[in-house]
Amino acid sequence: MTLHRTATLFAGLFVLFTVIGLFLGAANISLLLVQSFAYALIALGLNIQWGYGGLFNFGIMGMLMLGGAAVTFVSFPVNAAFWGSDGPMLLGRALLAFAGGFVLVWGARHADRVGVRGGWKTALTVLAWIVAYIVYRSQIDPAAAYIETEGGGWIGGLGLHPVLGWVFGGVLAAGVAFVVGRICLGLRTDYLAIATIGISEIIRALLKNMDWLTRGTLTVSPIPWPTPIPQNLQAQGISIADSFIYARLGFLSLVIVILAIAFFFVQRAYGGPWGRMMRAIRDNHVAAASMGKNVTRRQLEIFILGSVLMGIGGAMLVSFQQIYDPGAYQPINHTFLIWVMVIVGGAGNNWGAVFGALLIYITWMISDPVAQWLFNGISGWSTDMGWGPIPEIQSRASQMRVFVLGVVITIALRYAPRGLIPEVVKREA
Amino acid sequence: MNELIFFFNNVVVAGIVLGSIYAVGAIGVTLIFGILRFAHFAHGDMMTMGAFIAFLLAMAATALGITTPLVPTGFLVLPIAMFLAAGVALGLDKGFYAPLRKRGARPVTLLIASIGVTLIIQGLIRLFFGSGTWSFFEIETKQLIRIPVPLEGVTRTINFTQPQLLMVICTAIAVLALHVFLTRSRLGKAMRAMADNADLAQVSGINTKLVVRVTWVIAGALAAMAGTMLALDVSLKPDLAFNIVLPIFAAAIVGGLGQSYGAIAGGFLIGFAETLSIFNWSVLLRPLANALPFEVPATLAIVPTEYKLTVAFVILVVVLLWRPTGIFKGASS
């Protein structure tokens, strides 16, 4: 029954993509395919967190941004002007200050071992935080100012292979998720949602304003591809129109391979003892705790695992678009969109998450041209009626996709609350 | 002394204004949480929508010639805008949340539904108003009030705008009215009882459906008020409140979700924390430069201005760690 339904839905999706492809042309649909499969990986990450573990992560945008920053740092060509200046030395000192501050705070937090307790320990911790912050700021501010003016503008990249950048994106996301999880997990759902949103906003503010690290709103481009770019193919004598299709198909196959590997492991984990334990925690964490499961620790595990997939997905998107623009990240496009994907597809079911990602992404992307076509029609009609045309059709139509997304999730919650491909709950007798 | 007045203008006045806006917004969030047990994400967009309703009304009033030189038109039409916004809030509940509640959906589902509502409202606002910036003060001028300080050697004046003064007065009236409603009226007491224990309230004969409706009316009206105040203070744009809904949630959580008085305290706490942390302390230190052992830098803010929004979250995280249910003990979901 479920298998039948899944197969039918995916076949329908294939037809949808083919029809849209016929309208938009092969180059455009291959572009949409790469992005939608990258989003599928991100949706898989959220499906682990929300579908398996019941964690309310609203900070997806932060993880995507970290992935993007990581791949920019690893794969962008080396900036010789920075490495030749005093910048690395100043940054090293700032890093030392950061480490010193970390040790200071850590020491204050463990001051009870040397007999400082209660209110004194709290006071000491607060003092340690303040001192660490001042010391760090006193080092990083001049370093940042120097790099941005004289030291080459920004630190540049390492010039390594982009796939290494994707790996680093996952690692970086995991590290940040560890810290965030240690702080936030254990909070109840609504509090966790707000706390994770807050942290993703902090990450955005940092990456957007640390010009020395990411060039901020100046944006970084072109970020290299792991597969041949169209210009390489053109050099081999392939026509310009075809080169874009082949290049994107090359990138697409790499994305699909990574998605397939992630999917395989995530799907295996779902049925295994680990997955069963996660679902037990999700459904009743009190019962799971009373059976001896360390709930907070397991949730931390799943939070980190999901964030790794998000970081890799975010890195792939940045590589593909060849530009890293911290100002372009919005909660609607990078957090809520993914939530809609997982909810519509079916939380807890990996096929559902992938299906939802592909369906919602294509809906999101074609809402704009469809709305434009619709508005042009209405505008022509209203002109004929003597009411004049609709002003600013272009910008209005591009806002319609936000509205469409809202309608889609509302309908899904009302009529298919468990998603189009719902989770199958097996009950052993 | 001049420096102290500079401090007063930049921290105290700005903090009170920002705090009022946060407080009025956070009361709505906290009331909905107390009664319906879910974080209503669409509150920010209800604020924006209320501001746009007020804007349209103000345009209409100006066109009809209904203006007074005493109050900006935005404040003149505020009661009507609040009334309309309350109606819209009731409609949103009936259309989006009530069917889910009837099905017995978990609060988490309602939270996700509120994101759908956020997207729909935001899409509609952008559809009709584009993504540009609008101002209430295209025809009227924003009056600046300067109060000279009767002290020797003081050249600076205490500055604030007329809308800022009015919005602080409006906030005070709203808070007072809410206090009287919650403590004196039968319905207000029923509301507090339901926030305390919904099942017990229903068993003891409280009309819970009515309480839910009243909650939406109050929340919608306050959202319109907060949104209009924000639009009058800065400018009106479609994503006006989307950025501010997060500090408002922070204020509500810091005060303890479900606690109306906590929300007010949280709002002012966050407002003042933001203005204090971006204030350039060098201004205050400069007169003491000779007595200080170090050189006073040109700018010495606790955080750079770009990071203003993050202050709210840092406070939020600290409060959640230190006292997980907020300063005043909040409700759990």
The ranges assigned to domains in chain A are 2-79+154-378+391-415, 80-153
Instruction: Find the Cα–Cα–Cα–Cα dihedral B181, B185, B187, B192, rounded to 10°.
Output: 70
Which H or E element spans position A177?
Answer: helix A162-184
Q: Is A339 touching B (CB cutoff 8 A)?
A: yes
Give the gap in angstroms from C-alpha B308 to the nearest C-alpha of chain A: 9
Give the gap in angstroms from C-alpha A418 to the nearest C-alpha of chain B: 10
Contact in structure between B278 and B309 (CB atoms under 8 Å) = no
**Up-side HSE of residue A425: CA atoms within 13 Å toward CB?**
8
Q: Is the Cβ pair B109, A414 closer than 8 Å?
A: no
In chain A, residues with a C-beta closer than 8 Å to the C-beta of B314 are 202
Is B133 among the domain residues?
A: no
Contact in structure between A228 and A247 (CB atoms under 8 Å) = yes
**Maximum average pLDDT range among B121-125, B292-296, B324-328:** B121-125
Q: Is the Cβ pair B107, A191 closer than 8 Å?
A: no
Q: Is B292 touching A (CB cutoff 8 A)?
A: no
Q: Is A239 touching B (CB cutoff 8 A)?
A: no
Please compute the mean of the pLDDT values over residues B200-207 and round it to a whole number.
89
B273-320 pLDDT, tens digit each: 999 998 888 777 777 777 777 777 777 788 888 888 788 888 887 887
Q: Is B309 touching A (CB cutoff 8 A)?
A: yes
How many beta-carbon pairs below 8 A join chains A and B? 129
Mean pLDDT is lowest, of A29-43, A247-261, B240-254, B296-310, for B296-310
Q: Is the pLDDT of residue B220 over 90?
A: yes
- Residue B120 confidence (pLDDT): 92
- Residue B88 confidence (pLDDT): 95
**Maximum average pLDDT range among A214-223, A283-292, A308-317, B242-251:** A308-317
B236: three-class secondary structure by DSSP: strand
Q: Is the pLDDT of residue A318 over 70?
A: yes
Band of pLDDT at residue A254, cut at 50, 70 and 90 = very high
Q: Is A211 touching B (CB cutoff 8 A)?
A: no
DSSP string, A261-277: HHHHHHHHHHHSHHHHH
Please compute the mean of the pLDDT values over residues A341-354 and round it to a whole number.
92
Q: Is B26 touching A (CB cutoff 8 A)?
A: no
Is B11 among the domain residues?
A: yes
Q: Is B123 touching A (CB cutoff 8 A)?
A: yes
pTM summary value = 0.91
Q: Is the Cβ pair A194, B39 closer than 8 Å?
A: yes
Band of pLDDT at residue B153, cut at 50, 70 and 90 = confident
The more confident residue out of B250 and B327 is B250
Instruction: Give residue B11's domain range.
Output: 2-126+160-322
| Phi, psi for B161 (deg, rounded to 5) | -95, 160
Instruction: Assign domain A2-79+154-378+391-415 one CATH number from 1.10.3470, 3.50.4, 2.60.120, 1.20.58.
Output: 1.10.3470
Q: Is the pLDDT of residue A1 over 70?
A: no
Q: Is the Cβ pair A404, B123 closer than 8 Å?
A: yes
| Phi, psi for A227 (deg, rounded to 5) | -110, 165
Q: Is the pLDDT of residue B243 over 80?
A: no
Q: Give the total residue count for chain A.
A: 429
Contact in structure between A73 and A158 (CB atoms under 8 Å) = yes
Whole-angstrom distance, CA of residue A308 vs CA of residue A63: 8
User: Rg for chain A (alpha carbons), in Å?
Assistant: 24
A125-183 pLDDT, tens digit each: 889 999 999 889 888 888 888 888 887 788 888 889 999 999 999 999 999 999 988 88
Give the gap in angstroms from C-alpha B32 to the nearest C-alpha of chain A: 13
Whole-angstrom distance, CA of residue A221 vs CA of residue A229: 14
Band of pLDDT at residue B329, cut at 50, 70 and 90 = low
Q: Is B312 touching A (CB cutoff 8 A)?
A: yes
Which H or E element spans position B144?
Answer: strand B144-148
CB within 8 Å of chain A, chain B residues 91-120: 96, 99-100, 103, 105, 107-109, 111-113, 115-120
- Residue A427 confidence (pLDDT): 66
Please compute the mean of the pLDDT values over residues B205-220 and round it to a whole number.
92
Q: What is the CATH number of the domain that holds B198?
A: 1.10.3470
Number of domains in chain B: 1
Mean pLDDT is lowest, of A24-33, A299-308, B235-244, for B235-244
- Residue A61 confidence (pLDDT): 95
A168: three-class secondary structure by DSSP: helix
In chain A, residues with a C-beta closer than 8 Å to the C-beta of B100 are 413-414
Q: Is B314 touching A (CB cutoff 8 A)?
A: yes
Residue of A187, A190, A209 lying closest to B324 (CB–CB): A187
Distances (CA, A) of A65 to A160, A220, A253: 19, 13, 23
The ipTM, to two decimals, is 0.87
State the burial class of residue B141 (Cβ atoms within 10 Å of its Cβ: 0-12, 13-18, 19+).
exposed
Contact in structure between B219 and B243 (CB atoms under 8 Å) = no
In chain B, residues with a C-beta closer than 8 Å to the C-beta of A197 are 246
